Chain A
Amino acid sequence: QKEVEQNSGPLSVPEGAIASLNCTYSDRGSQSFFWYRQYSGKSPELIMSIYSNGDKEDGRFTAQLNKASQYVSLLIRDSQPSDSATYLCAVPPGAGSYQLTFGKGTKLSVIP
Protein backbone atom coordinates (compact mmCIF):
# COMPACT_ATOMS: atom_id res chain seq x y z
CA GLN A 1 0.00 0.00 0.00
CA LYS A 2 1.31 3.40 -0.97
CA GLU A 3 1.99 5.47 2.12
CA VAL A 4 2.85 9.01 3.04
CA GLU A 5 4.18 9.47 6.56
CA GLN A 6 4.35 12.65 8.60
CA ASN A 7 5.09 13.34 12.23
CA SER A 8 1.70 14.32 13.64
CA GLY A 9 3.21 16.77 16.12
CA PRO A 10 2.25 19.10 17.55
CA LEU A 11 5.34 21.02 16.56
CA SER A 12 5.79 24.20 18.56
CA VAL A 13 8.20 26.93 17.50
CA PRO A 14 8.66 30.50 18.77
CA GLU A 15 7.69 33.40 16.55
CA GLY A 16 10.51 34.28 14.15
CA ALA A 17 12.08 30.81 14.22
CA ILE A 18 12.34 28.30 11.37
CA ALA A 19 9.73 25.55 11.35
CA SER A 20 10.81 22.30 9.70
CA LEU A 21 8.15 19.82 8.56
CA ASN A 22 9.06 16.42 7.19
CA CYS A 23 7.40 13.80 5.01
CA THR A 24 8.44 10.40 3.67
CA TYR A 25 6.71 8.45 0.93
CA SER A 26 6.84 4.83 -0.12
CA ASP A 27 6.39 4.89 -3.92
CA ARG A 28 9.66 5.47 -5.80
CA GLY A 29 7.66 6.22 -8.95
CA SER A 30 6.11 9.38 -7.53
CA GLN A 31 7.04 12.43 -9.59
CA SER A 32 5.30 15.36 -7.94
CA PHE A 33 4.95 16.47 -4.35
CA PHE A 34 2.67 18.97 -2.68
CA TRP A 35 2.32 20.77 0.60
CA TYR A 36 -1.10 21.95 1.75
CA ARG A 37 -1.92 24.14 4.73
CA GLN A 38 -5.17 23.51 6.58
CA TYR A 39 -6.50 25.84 9.24
CA SER A 40 -8.81 24.33 11.83
CA GLY A 41 -12.29 23.85 10.38
CA LYS A 42 -11.20 24.89 6.89
CA SER A 43 -10.24 23.06 3.71
CA PRO A 44 -6.65 22.40 2.53
CA GLU A 45 -4.90 25.21 0.66
CA LEU A 46 -2.07 24.43 -1.76
CA ILE A 47 1.06 26.33 -0.73
CA MET A 48 3.94 24.55 -2.48
CA SER A 49 4.54 22.06 -5.25
CA ILE A 50 7.90 20.52 -6.14
CA TYR A 51 8.84 18.19 -8.97
CA SER A 52 12.67 18.07 -9.07
CA ASN A 53 15.33 17.17 -6.55
CA GLY A 54 16.65 20.11 -4.59
CA ASP A 55 15.10 23.22 -3.12
CA LYS A 56 12.24 25.40 -4.26
CA GLU A 57 11.66 28.72 -2.55
CA ASP A 58 8.51 30.84 -2.46
CA GLY A 59 8.60 33.73 -0.05
CA ARG A 60 9.11 32.40 3.46
CA PHE A 61 8.49 28.81 2.33
CA THR A 62 11.12 26.39 1.00
CA ALA A 63 10.30 22.90 -0.17
CA GLN A 64 13.13 20.37 -0.32
CA LEU A 65 12.97 17.11 -2.26
CA ASN A 66 15.29 14.10 -2.14
CA LYS A 67 13.91 11.35 -4.36
CA ALA A 68 16.72 8.92 -3.52
CA SER A 69 15.77 9.08 0.15
CA GLN A 70 12.03 9.40 -0.65
CA TYR A 71 11.87 12.47 1.53
CA VAL A 72 10.27 15.87 1.11
CA SER A 73 10.33 18.70 3.62
CA LEU A 74 8.88 22.16 4.11
CA LEU A 75 10.76 24.95 5.85
CA ILE A 76 8.95 28.04 7.06
CA ARG A 77 11.29 30.92 7.82
CA ASP A 78 10.42 33.77 10.19
CA SER A 79 7.42 31.80 11.49
CA GLN A 80 4.36 33.86 12.36
CA PRO A 81 1.40 33.01 14.62
CA SER A 82 -0.72 33.04 11.45
CA ASP A 83 1.31 30.03 10.24
CA SER A 84 -0.26 27.94 13.02
CA ALA A 85 -2.13 25.23 11.13
CA THR A 86 -1.91 21.59 10.08
CA TYR A 87 0.45 20.99 7.16
CA LEU A 88 -0.41 18.11 4.85
CA CYS A 89 2.05 16.39 2.55
CA ALA A 90 0.45 14.97 -0.62
CA VAL A 91 1.99 12.62 -3.16
CA PRO A 92 0.46 10.97 -6.24
CA PRO A 93 1.19 7.24 -5.88
CA GLY A 94 3.27 6.71 -8.99
CA ALA A 95 3.93 8.44 -12.25
CA GLY A 96 0.77 9.43 -14.08
CA SER A 97 -1.50 8.82 -11.11
CA TYR A 98 -4.54 11.00 -10.89
CA GLN A 99 -5.12 10.94 -7.15
CA LEU A 100 -3.32 12.42 -4.18
CA THR A 101 -2.30 10.33 -1.19
CA PHE A 102 -2.11 12.51 1.89
CA GLY A 103 -0.22 12.10 5.12
CA LYS A 104 -2.10 12.64 8.36
CA GLY A 105 -0.58 16.11 8.67
CA THR A 106 1.68 17.87 11.15
CA LYS A 107 0.09 20.40 13.47
CA LEU A 108 2.27 23.48 13.82
CA SER A 109 1.90 26.01 16.62
CA VAL A 110 3.86 29.27 16.44
CA ILE A 111 4.16 30.77 19.89
CA PRO A 112 4.17 34.61 20.06
Chain B
Amino acid sequence: ETGVTQSPTHLIKTRGQQVTLRCSSQSGHNTVSWYQQALGQGPQFIFQYYREEENGRGNFPPRFSGLQFPNYSSELNVNALELDDSALYLCASSPVLLDNEQFFGPGTRLTVL
Protein backbone atom coordinates (compact mmCIF):
# COMPACT_ATOMS: atom_id res chain seq x y z
CA GLU B 1 0.00 0.00 0.00
CA THR B 2 1.47 3.34 -1.09
CA GLY B 3 1.24 6.19 1.40
CA VAL B 4 0.61 9.87 0.75
CA THR B 5 3.33 11.49 -1.33
CA GLN B 6 4.05 15.18 -1.89
CA SER B 7 6.29 17.15 -4.19
CA PRO B 8 8.53 19.02 -4.07
CA THR B 9 10.04 18.48 -0.62
CA HIS B 10 11.52 21.97 -0.41
CA LEU B 11 10.87 25.15 -2.34
CA ILE B 12 12.22 28.69 -2.19
CA LYS B 13 10.24 31.53 -3.75
CA THR B 14 10.25 35.31 -3.59
CA ARG B 15 7.44 37.54 -2.47
CA GLY B 16 4.78 38.05 -5.14
CA GLN B 17 5.50 34.81 -7.00
CA GLN B 18 3.11 31.91 -7.44
CA VAL B 19 3.64 28.30 -6.34
CA THR B 20 2.02 24.93 -7.02
CA LEU B 21 2.37 22.04 -4.59
CA ARG B 22 1.34 18.48 -5.46
CA CYS B 23 -0.03 15.55 -3.52
CA SER B 24 -0.88 11.94 -4.35
CA SER B 25 -3.31 10.41 -1.90
CA GLN B 26 -2.90 7.02 -0.30
CA SER B 27 -4.19 4.14 -2.39
CA GLY B 28 -7.96 3.78 -1.95
CA HIS B 29 -8.38 7.25 -0.39
CA ASN B 30 -10.72 9.65 -2.19
CA THR B 31 -10.59 12.67 0.13
CA VAL B 32 -7.65 15.06 0.34
CA SER B 33 -7.13 17.87 2.85
CA TRP B 34 -4.43 20.54 2.88
CA TYR B 35 -2.94 22.11 6.00
CA GLN B 36 -0.41 24.85 6.67
CA GLN B 37 1.94 24.43 9.63
CA ALA B 38 3.99 27.41 10.75
CA LEU B 39 7.00 26.83 12.96
CA GLY B 40 5.98 25.94 16.51
CA GLN B 41 2.28 25.75 15.67
CA GLY B 42 -0.20 23.00 14.97
CA PRO B 43 -1.40 22.46 11.40
CA GLN B 44 -4.10 24.88 10.19
CA PHE B 45 -6.81 23.57 7.84
CA ILE B 46 -6.77 25.20 4.39
CA PHE B 47 -9.37 23.18 2.45
CA GLN B 48 -10.56 19.70 1.58
CA TYR B 49 -11.41 18.06 -1.75
CA TYR B 50 -13.75 15.16 -2.36
CA ARG B 51 -14.54 13.82 -5.83
CA GLU B 52 -12.87 16.83 -7.45
CA GLU B 53 -15.02 19.36 -5.56
CA GLU B 54 -13.97 21.65 -2.72
CA ASN B 55 -15.74 20.31 0.33
CA GLY B 56 -14.82 22.87 2.96
CA ARG B 57 -12.42 25.72 3.53
CA GLY B 58 -10.59 27.18 6.50
CA ASN B 59 -9.78 30.83 7.17
CA PHE B 60 -7.44 31.35 4.22
CA PRO B 61 -7.71 34.06 1.51
CA PRO B 62 -8.78 33.27 -2.08
CA ARG B 63 -5.18 33.38 -3.29
CA PHE B 64 -5.00 29.87 -1.82
CA SER B 65 -6.73 27.58 -4.30
CA GLY B 66 -6.71 23.93 -5.18
CA LEU B 67 -7.70 21.14 -7.49
CA GLN B 68 -8.39 17.44 -7.22
CA PHE B 69 -8.00 15.17 -10.22
CA PRO B 70 -9.95 12.02 -11.19
CA ASN B 71 -7.17 9.84 -9.75
CA TYR B 72 -7.66 11.72 -6.41
CA SER B 73 -4.30 13.47 -6.59
CA SER B 74 -4.43 17.15 -5.70
CA GLU B 75 -2.71 20.49 -6.14
CA LEU B 76 -2.45 23.51 -3.86
CA ASN B 77 -1.82 26.82 -5.60
CA VAL B 78 -0.79 29.98 -3.81
CA ASN B 79 -0.69 33.28 -5.69
CA ALA B 80 1.00 36.54 -4.71
CA LEU B 81 3.20 34.90 -2.11
CA GLU B 82 3.78 36.74 1.15
CA LEU B 83 6.55 36.28 3.68
CA ASP B 84 4.04 34.79 6.16
CA ASP B 85 3.29 31.99 3.69
CA SER B 86 6.59 30.41 4.68
CA ALA B 87 5.55 27.14 6.33
CA LEU B 88 5.31 23.39 6.02
CA TYR B 89 2.40 22.49 3.73
CA LEU B 90 0.84 19.16 4.53
CA CYS B 91 -1.48 17.03 2.48
CA ALA B 92 -3.62 14.42 4.24
CA SER B 93 -5.87 11.78 2.76
CA SER B 94 -8.87 9.90 4.18
CA PRO B 95 -10.48 6.72 2.90
CA VAL B 96 -14.00 8.14 2.90
CA LEU B 97 -15.62 11.52 3.20
CA LEU B 98 -16.10 12.67 6.79
CA ASP B 99 -13.75 9.99 8.07
CA ASN B 100 -11.58 12.21 10.14
CA GLU B 101 -8.77 9.66 10.40
CA GLN B 102 -6.43 11.58 8.14
CA PHE B 103 -3.01 10.35 7.10
CA PHE B 104 -0.36 12.90 6.28
CA GLY B 105 2.25 13.03 3.57
CA PRO B 106 5.82 14.16 4.28
CA GLY B 107 5.02 17.81 3.51
CA THR B 108 6.53 20.55 1.38
CA ARG B 109 8.68 23.15 3.12
CA LEU B 110 8.04 26.51 1.44
CA THR B 111 10.31 29.45 2.13
CA VAL B 112 9.30 32.90 0.84
CA LEU B 113 12.07 35.48 0.69
Q: Which residues of B contact A (CB under 8 A)?
A: 31, 33, 35, 40-45, 48, 55-56, 58, 88, 90, 97-98, 100-107
- Looking at the complex, which of A57-65, A77-85, A92-100 is the stretch in contact with chain B? A92-100
| Complex alpha-carbon distance, A102 and B35, angstroms | 10
Q: Give 28 A-B contacts (CB < 8 Å), ordered by A residue.
A: A4-B42, A32-B100, A34-B101, A36-B104, A42-B107, A43-B88, A43-B105, A43-B107, A44-B90, A46-B101, A46-B102, A46-B103, A88-B43, A90-B42, A92-B100, A96-B98, A97-B100, A98-B48, A98-B55, A98-B98, A98-B100, A99-B45, A99-B48, A100-B35, A100-B43, A100-B45, A102-B43, A104-B40
Q: A98 to B102, alpha carbons, bound, how many Å? A: 10
Verify A43–B42 contact, CB threshold 8 A.
Answer: no
Inter-subunit contact A99/B104 (CB<8 Å): no
Q: Specify which chain B residues have a CB less than 8 angstroms from the CB of A97 in the assembled complex.
A: 56, 100
A34, B100: Cβ atoms closer than 8 Å? yes
The SS class assigned to the A binding surface is loop
B42 with A42: CB separation less than 8 A: no
Give the residue name and chain of the A residue nearest to B33 (CB).
A99
CA distance A99 to B56 in the complex (A): 8
Complex contact B42–A45 (CB within 8 A): no
Kindly identify which residue among A43, A103, A104 contacts B106, using a CB–CB cutoff of 8 Å: A43
